[in-house]
Amino acid sequence: MNNIGAIDIALAASVTAILATCSPLVVRRQQHLRAIMCLLLAITAALAVAAGISGLLGSHGQTTLPLGLPWMPMHVRIDALAAFFLLLIGALLLPAAIYSQGYLRHVKQLIPMVVFLPLFVLGMIGVVISDDAYTFMLFWEVMSLASYFLVTFDHHQAENRKAGFIYLLMAHLAGLLILGSFAVLYAASGSLEFQPMRDAPLSPVWATGAFLLAAFGFGTKAGVVPLHGWLPDAHPVAPGNISALMSGIMLKIAIFGFIRIIWDLIGAGDFQWWWGVLILAAGSSSAITGVLLAMQQSDLKRLLAYSSIENIGIILIGLGLAMLLARYDQPAMAALGLVAALYHTINHTLFKGLLFMGAGAVVHSTGTRNMEAMGGLIHRMPWTAALFLVACVSISALPPFNGFVSEWLTFQTALLAPQLGSAMLTAMVPFSAAMLALAGALAAACFVKAFGVVFLGLPRSDMAIHAHEIDHWMKAGMIIPALLCLLLGLLPVSIIELLDGIPQLLLHVSLTESVQTHGWLWLTPVHASQASYSAPVALTGMLIIGGAAFLFLHPKGHAVRRSTAWSCGTPETNNRMQYSASSFSQPMRRIFSAIYQPEEQLHTERRAHPLLTTRVSYLVHVHDLAVDKLYQPIANYVLLQAKRLDRRHQQDIRSYLAYTFYTILFLLALLSVQQSAMEQRNQPAATSQSQPPATLPGLTSGQTGTEVRR
């Protein structure tokens, strides 16, 4: 066995999470309970980061835990893939733990959070280090159940209970599909351990069955269109720190499970061409649908939830390209697509976690998620505005931040891919690049709207007027992912070298030689003559051009003149003379009306005189077609059958006595049939002992036949 230092660190992180869960047993005061939980979660995060870096540097290992069932012990293992996702968990959990110290300061009942948040973290760590199907599914259910209680943390509101119910239903549906995928692999290997599953040969039919079950199961958990119905409801109602962890980490655990089963247990050698096409189509539709629906939201956290669907789509575009290229014997380009997907995975963890923490800070300060009631918060919350802006620039894929690097690598995979097996497949690759470009442009517009409506302009309500800046704990928790977004954008070559063990594990290909062609300064995914990018050079150029433009527009000695903005002749400006969230997205709503199917309502209140209007209200509702056309009909059918069954349950005593009588008759008939079958089975055996063996037909005299007994 290799050095298992990374395993030891990961297990120590798990033990620390368990201690955090048990802390309410010994601590009673709320402030002490909050401090202990946040401290233990921060230690867990630091250990996860240490285990991840150690595993990516080559400290792999496996062991068997003295836990589980007597005939089914728990196996854990760390390889490059598990190490990367441990690093991802720790990278966001550490700032989230610091952030929670300030965010939870005014929460009165902390025990549910203290119990279930560490269990949630424990479940995610356990899934990542699992080395058999039993351990994987056990921790998967721990993660799902704990996150349900966190979603319904404020269970007094009906909206939260409904969102929690839908989430729990979809989570268990995903679990059943994943269990079915493991069942197929178990039938082929005869073992629940992952190594026999890797070694067992799979026929194309059974490999396809395992792929489809895993794709739909993990796709449901990741919120892939059209399986995303739970996500826009669950993430907004959860507390801000929980939303950051769910969107930033939990969705990526589904990506980990998909890669573990499809790329590792089934293996790239068994890929079918249409697998990559399916993943590519799912990624493209998720990216476009997610960002289009995000554009139309007035609820800040709901906007971020739909944006998570878009970014999961971008990750799947990279994985789909990699699967197609691996199928057609292009391992180097497949490795590039895989690394692009993984790079965007950790990028999305950081900037989406930062966005949800920023949204939590805004909600914490204003008391509302409605963007129409915000505005002008940059003057009252300057730190929050600056950090939220970093996340907006990162998610919009603008250099020099991290989102640009991963999307640029995905573009390079699509644009530099060679000819594939057919004209259709060759055309799909640039088509996916076009969908990625459209999604990127729409995402930039979406977050211009989000930042502008929330932080710029004039306050639209008293809540925005009386908003206040967050405390130092919450600021510190947001500063860490903001710095990491800049770091991953400036040093992509070093990050790709750290991730190089994953393509070596899954594709037996290394990207180190190509990306190191010009050292750490230039990123060259394939060859310098085809494409290269230097984030430090780009940042230097932007600083020089920006500084020159500033000096030109604001020469030394000339003060900036400030005056009231022109208001078309009206005596004074007010908060109604600015773009709202709905008006900002109105052009897109017109262009994509076939997708949105908007319902618009205009209400006008007038005084006694018909020409004097006192109030005008405009309401618009945008439909999610997947919810309306897929989920709602299923829900209506289930409710209809439940009502019919309910009428059956509410009958009189005579009906129940009749049911009992018919049940007894059925059981007696079944018993008599079974008894007659046993008598017929015993009768031939008795006659064969009393009669001499007969000559079998077709045998001549002197030949004997072999007696056949039942």
Q: Which helix (H) or strand (E) covers residue 344, if one does?
A: helix 331-366
Q: Which residues contact 557 (CB under 8 A, 6 or more apart)?
A: none
| Alpha helix positions (H), 194-330 | 194-199, 204-222, 231-237, 240-245, 251-258, 273-295, 300-327
| Mean pLDDT within 31-44 | 90
Query: How far, in Å, CA of 447 to CA of 243, rounded?
Result: 18
Using 50, 70 and 90 to split pLDDT, how confident is the model at 211?
A: very high
Q: How far is CA 291 from CA 149, 442, 595, 625, in A?
A: 28, 6, 12, 14
What is the predicted pLDDT for the residue at 357?
95
Query: What rounded mean pLDDT belongs to the chain?
Result: 85
Query: How far, in Å, CA of 356 to CA of 21, rounded?
Result: 24
Comparing C-alpha atoms, which of 329, 201, 314, 328 is closest to residue 273?
328
Using 50, 70 and 90 to split pLDDT, how confident is the model at 410?
A: very high
Q: Which residues contact 235 (CB under 8 A, 6 or more apart)?
A: 243, 246, 247, 301, 302, 304, 305, 308, 356
Q: What tokens appear for 72 in the block?
A: 């089914």
Q: What angle do CA 639, 622, 251 make, to 5 degrees?
A: 75
Burial of 682 (0-12, 13-18, 19+ CB in 10 A): exposed
> pLDDT digits over 581-631, tens only?
888 888 888 888 778 777 777 776 666 666 666 677 778 878 788 787 888
What is the predicted pLDDT for the residue at 706?
39
Q: Per-residue pLDDT for 688 more than 70?
A: no
**DSSP of 172-199, one letter per residue?**
HHHHHHHHHHHHHHHHHHS-SBHHHHHH
Query: How far, in Å, CA of 614 to CA of 607, rounded?
Result: 7
What is the predicted pLDDT for the residue at 523?
84
Q: Is residue 474 within 8 Å of 102, Cβ to Cβ? A: yes
> pTM score, two decimals?
0.87
Q: Per-residue pLDDT for 704 more than 50?
A: no
Residue 299 gets the label, from left (phi > 0), alpha (psi -120 to 50) or beta, of beta
| Mean pLDDT within 489-517 | 86
Instruction: Name the 3-class secondary structure at 531.
Output: coil
Query: How far, in Å, CA of 545 to CA of 703, rounded?
Result: 105
- Tell me which of 286 and 636 has the higher pLDDT: 286
Q: Is residue 132 within 8 Å of 140, Cβ to Cβ? A: no
Q: Is residue 440 within 8 Å of 396, Cβ to Cβ? A: yes
> pLDDT digits over 450-478, tens only?
999 999 988 888 898 989 999 999 999 99
Using 50, 70 and 90 to split pLDDT, how confident is the model at 41?
A: very high
Which DSSP category does 59 fall into?
Answer: -
Q: Is residue 98 within 8 Å of 476, Cβ to Cβ? A: yes
